[in-house]
Amino acid sequence: MLSTDKIRTVFPVALLLFAILCRAATFGNPLIHIDEQFYLFVGGRLLHGDLPYVQIWDRKPFGLFLLYAFFHLFGPWRFWAYQIGALLSVWGTSLVLMRMAGTIASRNGAFLAALLYIAWLNLAGGEGGQSPVFYNFLMIAAMSLVLFRLVLSNPSEKVLRNTGCQAMLLVGLALQIKYSAVFEGMFLGVYLLWRHWRAGSRISAIVMDGLLWCLLALVPTLSVAAAYYAGGYGHEWLFANVNSIFLRGARTAATLKENEARLLLLTTPLLVLGCVGCGYRLKFTVTETPTVRAFGFLIPWAVCACIGVIVFGGWYTHYALPLFPPLTLLCAPLWDIPKGGRIASVLLLLCGLIMGQKDIHKHEKQHGNKAILAQMTQTMSQPKGCTFVYQGPVILYDVLPWCALTNHPFPGHFNEFAERQATGMDPHAELDHILAASPLYVVTEEPAWSEENLSIRSQLYAVLRSRYREAYRRKQSKENTFLVVYKLNDGKP
């Protein structure tokens, strides 16, 4: 039998090694996903003095670009830097998750839940540096503070107030990584107010503390907004961070149905087996015990996380990533079911591990790797010149000379039909402006994808056919789908 001290060492080391095993195939790959390519590019431009929402437009929070600016400081090692940062964030999340799961399950069940979280990320595009990979750590840290200091104890009013302040400040930092954290933050705020009321606090104290907690959750975002307004860019910040979110068009029913089916496929095993494990645990637990109080906090957290995904919609598979901390945590009691619980837990983990590695391999075939990027940059360096990425790896802007042909460099803001009225620019006029500058290289994918703005593609290809020639073509994993680089012909027609 291992001593308690050895267990405290063995489990964290095992979680770190397992996280490395699950993510090792992605290390050093600059083409994992277009989102994190863009974050790294914008982080680099931030270091050069360009402001998000002004010189580089997007609707992600400033804190996310600031985080990637730190990774960009590592220069040629910046891809490794953000991937190691993501690895450490996943590891930290799993450690906190295991400790929280220990309140509703055995030590081994809690350990398995932490392993399950690490493996399940790969099934939803979380093998790299998607924003929830980072903000999940902040959010679960906030939840753990409340669980251990308030839910499982009888704190004084001072402890309750201070814990609420610390937790809501963590929520505020999470909001500056991605705004969808607002739903879990709202749940935490409501729970804190309810806990205050149950403690018999005065109404005036509840109101004052509630206002304080709300303010702390908003401080990071308000600080960024104030800085933009002070610099004369308040309108740009407001439009990008608030107004543009509500201007996005709808995706086609077929695409939404396909994405929602994928989200259900990812979450249903966790939901079903989590319900089985929790139901078993509650059946044999005396009421008003710490375990029951823990369930009374963790289950509503999971419900609110699910509501957040439903409200934001099933646009992309990685929208499921914030669900995995609460859902995998609630799977911990499954291990403790005498007949079949351990077998079901291990099978679930193996399924996540194997299918996750298959997804990583599939994504690499689709998006490429370090060797593919080297081929492209070699082709696009003979000679070097301005590049426009209409559709393809946006990291090319980071590894090739950046010409600032547009302040909307994210490809989806041009080629996606749902974005045509949501970015503050007329994509037709902006495309004319870009092509009038005669970029030496244009990167695109063929054929058009299902959600593409076909009028923009027609406008682009009218110019490509008359003034450009094909310089590079790579078949992607999808059948008959190609990444193509066009090079400007000498002279205008």
Return mean pLDDT, the chain.
91
The pLDDT confidence band at residue 9, using thresholds 50, 70 and 90, is confident
Average pLDDT over residues 309-320: 77
Q: What does the pLDDT read at residue 307?
A: 86
* pLDDT tens digit sequence for 246-284: 888 877 788 778 888 888 888 899 999 999 988 888 877
SS (HEC) of the chain: CCCHHHHHHHHHHHHHHHHHHHHHHHCCCCCCCHHHHHHHHHHHHHHCCCCECCCECCCCCHHHHHHHHHHHCCHHHHHHHHHHHHHHHHHHHHHHHHHHHCCCCCHHHHHHHHHHHHHHHHHHCCCCCCHHHHHHHHHHHHHHHHHHHHHCCCCCHHHHHHHHHHHHHHHHHHHCCCHHHHHHHHHHHHHHHHHHHHCCCCHHHHHHHHHHHHHHHHHHHHHHHHHHHHCCCHHHHHHHHCHHHHCCCCCCHHHHHHHHHHHHHHHHHHHHHHHHHHHHHHHCCCCCCHHHHHHHHHHHHHHHHHHHHHHHCCCCHHHHHHHHHHHHHCCHHHHHCCCCHHHHHHHHHHHHHHHHHHHHHHHHHHHCCHHHHHHHHHHCCCCCCCEEECCCCCCHHHHCCCCCCCCCCCCHHHHEHHHCCCCCCCHHHHHHHHHHCCCCEEEEEECCCCCECHHHHHHHHHHHHHHEEEEEEEECCCCCCEEEEEEECCCCC
The share of the chain scoring above pLDDT 70, in percent, equals 96
The pLDDT tens digits of the residues spanning 153-164 come to: 888 889 999 999
Q: Is the pLDDT of residue 491 over 60?
A: no
* Reported pTM: 0.93
User: Over 60: is that where the pLDDT of 492 sits?
Assistant: no
Q: Say if residue 108's pLDDT is above 80.
A: yes
pLDDT at residue 222 tops 90 = yes
Instruction: Please tell me the least confidently modeled range out of 43-47, 109-113, 186-190, 244-248.
Output: 244-248
Q: What is the mean pLDDT of residues 134-139?
A: 96
Whether 473 has a pLDDT exceeding 80, the answer reads yes
Question: How sure is the predictor about 439, in pLDDT bands with cuts at 50, 70 and 90?
Answer: very high
Q: CA-to-CA distance for 335 and 103, rounded, in angstroms?
A: 14
pLDDT digits (tens, 9 = 90+) for 77-87: 999 999 999 99
pLDDT at res. 315: 67
- CA atoms 448, 453, 458, 459: torsion sign: negative
- Residue 3 pLDDT: 55
Whether residue 387 contacts residue 403, with contact meaning beta carbons closer than 8 Å, is answered with yes
pLDDT of 310 > 70? The answer is yes
Q: Of 98-107, 151-160, 408-417, which gets the smallest average pLDDT?
A: 151-160
Residue 2: pLDDT over 60? no
Q: Per-residue confidence at 288, pLDDT binned at 50, 70, 90?
A: low
Confidence label for 311 from pLDDT (cuts 50, 70 and 90):
confident
